């Protein structure tokens, strides 16, 4: 009567009483079938182990690891390597995995890949959200085989991690060694260029401008002093030449020794005063009273000498010795020769100083161009030096990291628990199969009852009469016959309706 009118609780109870066997029967049957499947389906055992990732034992402030790749990515890379055919085929052959099935090696490898489960775990204490560890599980039809294969795969992960880290560290060190050798050659070339440049432009390099200016100032002072000394020596030479000319004239005229003695005395006194003047000017200024007095005496003495009789012709004055010369003349000639040599020496010194001044002037004038070129050379050298220092620092750090990996003090995998030997299969679960069978049978029974009730058009209650006829019921005549005598007409499990005559109908409705 489903769908013909709204059902009440009494209707549901009546349906359940009438067709309850249609629900119970499938539920029992499917429960038994589920239970039977647990004995038919091959069991599957799962062995699992936990691998933790231990961080580097030495603080990173002292040794920085060379491998900074994300652990999740590295784990995925290792997983692909371990699940390769070359790694799995020896394991399959050693443990004869799926040997009872008619499977090719490719199918067996694919099946092993499906039965291996690697599940990462994330610790709540890990601030960076990294991967502190992972589970490795393997599923097999035999508990012992599952344990052995799980242990084999776990050892592959541990060894692969150590090998990969060691190879990566050594590869990094070798690469840095090659780069460092190239950087050293480049640095040597730049060092040679810089040394050649400094040797070529010595005295014109940046930073030597002040030295050049000081040297040029000092040379100018020396040049002024040499010029003054040269002028004074030339003046002295003129006086001596004058005295020598006068002495040459007076000697044949007087023929006596008195004039020569007087002139010689004046010359000696003049020489003494000149020496005194030279000594005083070294210690005092020209305004000092002693200096002024000495200069005045020299001036007066020279005036006296100049007032003497005229000197012979210039061409006759010479420093060449003559055997007829008097001692005074010979002394004058010696003084003249000494002064002439002094003049030559001062002239040579003056030329030398002027040459040095021109040299320093050239250095100062060419300094901007040299400085610009020097910047280019030093910039390349500094760049090469910085690159070399950086590579040297990295290579030393890489060597320490490589040694750290060799000592297994870096990041490694630690097996917390050995793979367990499963006590019971993980599949099939008997309770799950039984429950699922019962639920499926119960649902199937409900569907059958609903279908039967939907197709059932029998009138059993006053509400059914009203739903079909829309007429009020005047009375209800009860059935007084014996329903036990009625026999089912068909079906083993299907209950037939009693074949009642018109007079035996339990319900009669009339309306008008």
Sorted by sequence, the CB contacts under 8 Å of residue 136 that are 6+ apart come out as 48, 49, 51, 116, 117, 118, 150, 153, 154, 157, 419
At residue 46, the 3 state secondary structure works out as: strand
Q: Are 476 and 508 in contact (CB under 8 A)?
A: yes
Give the pLDDT of residue 504.
45
Helix, strand, coil % (nearest 5) of the chain? 65, 5, 30
- The DSSP 8-state label assigned to residue 427 in this structure reads B
Beta pairing, strands 45-54 & 412-415? antiparallel
Sorted by sequence, the CB contacts under 8 Å of residue 222 that are 6+ apart come out as 353
Sorted by sequence, the CB contacts under 8 Å of residue 241 that are 6+ apart come out as 311, 314, 317, 336
> CA-to-CA distance for 129 and 284, rounded, in angstroms?
89
Tell me the pLDDT tens digit for each residue of 165-215: 888 888 888 999 999 999 999 999 999 999 999 888 888 888 888 888 999
Q: Are 274 and 298 in contact (CB under 8 A)?
A: yes
Task: Give me 330's structure tokens.
Answer: 């010979």
pLDDT, the chain, mean: 81
Residue in 173, 177, 186 with CA at minimum distance from that of residue 387: 186
> CA-to-CA distance for 179 and 245, rounded, in angstroms?
87
507 pLDDT exceeds 90?
A: no
pTM of the predicted protein model: 0.55
Name the residue with higher pLDDT: 129 or 351: 351
Q: Radius of gyration (Cα) for the chain, nearest Å?
A: 64
Give the pLDDT of residue 503.
43
Between the alpha carbon of residue 46 and those of residues 75, 139, 157, 427, 429, the distances in Å are 21, 4, 18, 9, 13
Tell me the pLDDT tens digit for each residue of 267-322: 778 888 888 888 888 778 888 888 888 888 888 888 887 776 544 444 445 556 66
Q: Other CB atoms closer than 10 Å to residue 182's CB: what's the count? A: 13
> CA-to-CA distance for 512 and 508, rounded, in angstroms?
14
Name the residue with higher pLDDT: 164 or 48: 48
407 pLDDT exceeds 70?
A: yes
> CA-to-CA distance for 395 and 462, rounded, in angstroms?
100
Q: Other CB atoms closer than 10 Å to residue 38's CB: what's the count? A: 18
Q: How confident is the model at residue 122 (pLDDT cuts 50, 70, 90)?
A: low
Sorted by sequence, the CB contacts under 8 Å of residue 124 that are 6+ apart come out as none
Give the pLDDT of residue 332.
82
Between the alpha carbon of residue 465 and those of residues 30, 457, 508, the distances in Å are 38, 11, 9
Give the pLDDT of residue 484.
59
262 pLDDT exceeds 70?
A: no
Residue in 44, 138, 142, 164 with CA at minimum distance from that of residue 83: 138
Name the residue with higher pLDDT: 310 or 359: 359
Instruction: Give the CA angle between residues 397, 133, 59 to the nearest 5°.
Output: 25
Beta pairing, strands 412-415 & 133-140? unpaired
Preceding omega of 326 cis (within 30 degrees of 0): no
8 pLDDT exceeds 80?
A: yes
323 pLDDT exceeds 80?
A: no
Length of the chain: 512
Name the residue with higher pLDDT: 268 or 254: 268
């Amino acid at each position: 009567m489903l769908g013909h009118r709204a059902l009440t609780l009494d209707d549901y109870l009546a349906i359940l009483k009438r067709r309850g066997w249609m629900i119970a029967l499938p539920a029992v049957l499917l429960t038994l079938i589920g239970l039977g499947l647990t004995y038919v389906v091959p069991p599957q055992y799962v062995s699992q182990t936990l691998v933790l990732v231990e961080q580097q034992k030495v603080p990173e402030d002292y040794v920085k690891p060379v491998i900074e790749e994300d652990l999740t990515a590295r784990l995925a890379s290792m997983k692909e390597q371990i699940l390769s055919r070359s790694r799995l085929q020896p394991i399959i052959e050693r443990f004869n995995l799926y040997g009872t099935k008619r499977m090719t090696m490719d199918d067996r490898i694919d099946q092993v890949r499906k039965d291996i489960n690697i599940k990462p775990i994330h610790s709540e204490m890990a601030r960076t959200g990294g991967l502190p560890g992972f589970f490795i599980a393997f599923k097999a039809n035999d508990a012992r085989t599952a344990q052995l294969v799980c242990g084999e795969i776990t050892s592959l992960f541990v060894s692969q991690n150590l090998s990969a880290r060691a190879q990566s560290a050594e590869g990094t060190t070798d690469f840095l060694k090659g780069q460092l050798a190239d950087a050293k050659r480049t640095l040597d070339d730049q060092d040679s260029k810089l040394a050649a440049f400094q040797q070529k432009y010595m005295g014109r390099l940046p930073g030597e401008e002040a030295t050049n200016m000081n040297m040029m100032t000092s040379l100018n002072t020396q040049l002024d002093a040499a010029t003054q000394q040269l002028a004074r020596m030339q003046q002295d030479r003129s006086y001596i030449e004058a005295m020598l000319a006068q002495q040459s004239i007076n000697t044949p005229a007087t023929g006596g020794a008195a004039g020569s003695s007087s002139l010689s005395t004046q010359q000696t006194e003049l020489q003494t005063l000149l020496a005194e003047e030279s000594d005083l000017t070294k210690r005092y200024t020209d305004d000092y009273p002693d200096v002024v007095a000495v200069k005045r005496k020299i001036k007066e003495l020279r005036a006296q000498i100049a007032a003497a009789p005229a000197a012979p012709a210039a061409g006759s004055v010479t420093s060449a010795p003559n055997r007829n010369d008097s001692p005074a003349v010979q002394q004058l000639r010696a003084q003249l020769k000494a002064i002439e040599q002094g003049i030559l020496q001062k002239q040579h010194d003056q030329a030398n100083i002027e040459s040095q001044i021109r040299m320093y002037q050239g250095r100062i004038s060419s300094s901007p161009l040299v400085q610009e070129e020097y910047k280019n050379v030093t910039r390349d050298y500094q760049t090469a030096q910085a690159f070399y220092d950086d590579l040297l620092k990295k290579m030393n750090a890489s060597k320490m990291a490589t040694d750290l990996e060799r000592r297994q003090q870096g990041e490694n995998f630690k097996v917390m628990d050995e793979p367990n030997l499963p006590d019971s299969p993980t599949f099939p679960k008997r309770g799950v199969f039984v429950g699922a069978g019962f639920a499926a049978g119960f649902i199937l029974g409900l569907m059958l009852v609903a279908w039967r009730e939907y197709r059932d058009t029998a009138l059993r209650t006053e509400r059914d009469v009203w739903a079909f006829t829309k007429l009020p019921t005047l009375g209800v005549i009860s059935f007084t016959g014996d329903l036990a005598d009625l026999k089912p007409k068909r079906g083993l499990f299907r209950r037939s309706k009693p074949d009642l005559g018109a007079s035996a109908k339990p319900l009669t409705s009339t309306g008008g």
